[in-house]
Amino acid sequence: LIPSGVNITLDQALGESGELHNLYDEDESVRHLVSSAKRVEGIARHASTHAAGVVISREPLISYMPLQRASKGDGQGQLMTQLAMEDIARMGLLKMDFLGLANLTILGKAKEIIAQTRGIDIDLWHIPLDDAKTFELLASGETSGVFQLEGTGMRHYIKELKPSSFSDIAAMVALYRPGPMEHIPTFIKAKHGIEPIRYPHPVLEEILKETYGVIVYQDQVLFIVQAFAGYSLGQADIFRKAMGKKIPQVMRKERHNFTAGAKRKGYPVELAKQIFDLIEPFAGYAFNKAHSFSYALIAYHTAYLKGNYPAEYMTALLMANSGQPEKVRSAIAECRRLGISVLPPDINRSGASFTIERGEQGNGAAAIRFGLADIKNVGANAIEPILVARQQGDFSSVEDFCKRAELRGVNKRVLESLIKAGALDCLGSRGALLYGLDRILSLAQREQRLRETGQTTMFDLWGESRPVPIPGLELATVDIPVKEKLAWEKELLGVYLSEHPVSHVAEKLRANITAFCGQIDAEMVGQTAVVAGMVTSVRQLFTKDKRPFVAATLEDLDGSIEVTAWPEVYRNTKELWQEANILVVRGRVRVREERVQLACEQVRQHQADAAAGQDAAPATQEMPAPSTPPAQRQRLVISIPQTEDQERDLAYLRQIVDTLRDYPGQDEVRLAIGSSDGVITLGLPDLSTGYCLDLQQRLASLVGEEGLRVTEAEP
């Protein structure tokens, strides 16, 4: 019940959340809990270790500061400083961050899998940098799981760019940052010859030729101020750092120094100001070229493996994301899009983690088998002895499983999870195995004791050629409803594997929609779509003025989409937003924080009459016919602050207006100008625009995502 917010306090939470406040007043235990928590609020609760920080000094560190060991059970943890990183920096010691990257692990694991399954040893440092399949994959925009290129906005731009060289990838990695981002459309159009390449001044052509006249890298900023204003490279780097701090008085000083330097070299002051305004957004945010090329190389390597060895690469991706349900779901959805089957866990087929599985004699398309240790509540320690026992041959029955497998680490919860996830389906039905769970465990424990004590039976007189019989398990026949089996799969595997709960109504839903959940992408921003699917997660949130709304994930056979029901819609439809409900939603497509979302306008629940097989209850809200509705005018409200610097405010406003005019259309624009006296809303009757993803990204780089609000314009 505590509203989300940066550094929110318990007192603020009590003031903002009425439900929490009521519980605090009415429930003695809640009041005691909150009051106790207030007394320790804000106190450092433990000494933590920086995830990547390493301190380096000329002399042993103990000469400069006290050290301690990171808290580990055996007291032998990593040595760490007893001072915080800010204090260490002020002391003049060198603090380096050595960052790990999961994608390097994925690449390494993918290479291992390819070597095992295909006998090919790939040296990523010597693969061709002009591979056709790799660039075909990038041009398609289907870059899910590709380093740096899998965000919604990036996928949109990489599809438009259609990179044809490695340097194109590096440039896109560098451009997709606040500041440089607004020049991505110019870069793309210049590359494809849609617009001519323009240079701010001929002297800069050699510096910007590689990037079609667009400033992309920090290095280019350094060379520009060197060539245009006579800076040394050392002075240019100081200039770049100063600009990055965005301090007004420092900026004014640097602007003066730059224009003075340009004037000494014979350039007009107005031209110098234009160049300064051009490089200013890049100085604090742009990547340097080495960084961009390093990231681009990893991006290329991941795209190369995905394009040429998709099953092996996706297996490595799933292994790396094991234990993260959202990422596993996303990866499995991508596998299905690629035509790669993902098979359920099987005690006779699965490894500890995800594995490649091919048809008979190694023929047929590759599939990916779910790992046993990837089942919730089942760890690698419990599975390892089972895999060792299986090396002698597949388990033929549940009795054989109990006799041969070392189940010392398999408790009731582990075995129950294996059964519910379907891993023992080859040995018996889930219902029967669950019903006889206690008897199975008893038999396994009996066999374990016999092995440990070395007891013999009269059958041992005949030697090993005669199998020793074990008590048979007469398991009852128990049917489990499909719906319950699917719920177990979702809980324990994080995804529906055998079938999807909406599959039985998929045909009916198809007639009510304009797109599948997985088809909604960034190219549809601003359009209205009707989707249908099952609610798989629900989060209740609050607007800035403390009104409740909901963010839910809707999933169908094709994929999933996040749906936001804002306060006006949520107020009348609260009862619908429950997990497992199947909903039909009409909404407008938008992008927020790199995710495509649907802003819900209307919603109803799909209900099927089990007997008649027809829709039962009427819609909660009236829904329109499923045909694609005509595009409606939108109202774009841009929030900007008013400062004491009038000249800066006017320049800022001109930049926003110029950006809007780059996208002509029929959408209405209003400004919400905030000052110490409140917020003044101004209409711009002489200015209309065409709201789209490109415009959203450019405006967000100017005013931030929180400064943009889009609604339907009044007729």
- Assess contact for 610 and 641: CB atoms under 8 A: no
Q: Is 475 left (phi over 0), alpha (psi -120 to 50) or beta?
A: beta
CA distance 368 to 357: 6
Greater confidence (337 vs 320) lies with 320
The letter for the amino acid at 138 is: L
- Assess contact for 501 and 580: CB atoms under 8 A: yes
For position 379, what pLDDT does the model report?
83
Sequence-distant (6+) residues with CB within 8 A of 489 are: 344, 421, 422, 495, 496, 497, 498
E strand map for 61-107: 67-69, 79-81, 94-97
- Assess contact for 515 and 508: CB atoms under 8 A: no
Measured CA distances, 60 to 64, 69, 71, 85, 474 (Å)? 8, 16, 22, 17, 70
Per-residue pLDDT reduced to its tens digit, 359-398:
654 455 789 999 999 999 888 888 898 999 899 899 988 8
CA distance 197 to 203: 14
For position 233, what pLDDT does the model report?
86
Q: Read off the pLDDT of each residue in 220-227 and give the average, rounded to a whole number.
A: 89
| pLDDT of 521 strictly over 80 | no
- The alpha carbon torsion through 488, 493, 498, 502 (nearest 10 deg) reads 70
CA distance 229 to 200: 14
For position 149, what pLDDT does the model report?
92
Map tokens 């829709």 to a residue. Answer: 615
Nearest to 251 by CA among 284, 220, 216: 284
Q: What is the mean pLDDT of the chain?
A: 83
Residue 192 banded pLDDT, cuts 50, 70, 90: very high
- Assess contact for 415 and 347: CB atoms under 8 A: no
| pLDDT of 409 strictly over 80 | no
| pLDDT of 5 strictly over 60 | yes
If residue 134 lies in a helix (H) or strand (E), which one and from where to where?
A: helix 132-140
φ and ψ at 20, to 5 degrees?
A: -65, -40
- Angle between helix 233-245 and helix 269-283 axes, rounded to 10 deg: 70
Measured CA distances, 393 to 372, 468, 472 (Å)? 17, 17, 20
Greater confidence (436 vs 55) lies with 55
Per-residue pLDDT reduced to its tens digit, 572-630:
898 899 888 889 999 998 887 667 889 999 998 886 533 333 333 333 444 544 443 44
DSSP letters for 389-428: HHTT----SHHHHHHHS--TT--HHHHHHHHHTTTTTTTS
For position 608, what pLDDT does the model report?
53
Greater confidence (284 vs 13) lies with 13
Measured CA distances, 551 to 564, 570, 599, 600 (Å)? 4, 10, 9, 10
For position 327, what pLDDT does the model report?
86
Q: Is 594 left (phi over 0), alpha (psi -120 to 50) or beta?
A: left
Q: How many CB atoms lie within 10 A of CB 198?
A: 11
Q: Read off the pLDDT of each residue in 458-467 and give the average, rounded to a whole number.
A: 44
For position 466, what pLDDT does the model report?
43
Per-residue pLDDT reduced to its tens digit, 44-78:
777 788 888 999 999 999 999 999 887 665 556 78
Indicate the range of 138-142, 270-274, 407-411 predicted with least confidence: 407-411
Indicate the range of 47-56, 217-226, 235-244 predicted with least confidence: 235-244
For position 684, what pLDDT does the model report?
80
φ and ψ at 407, to 5 degrees?
A: -105, 25
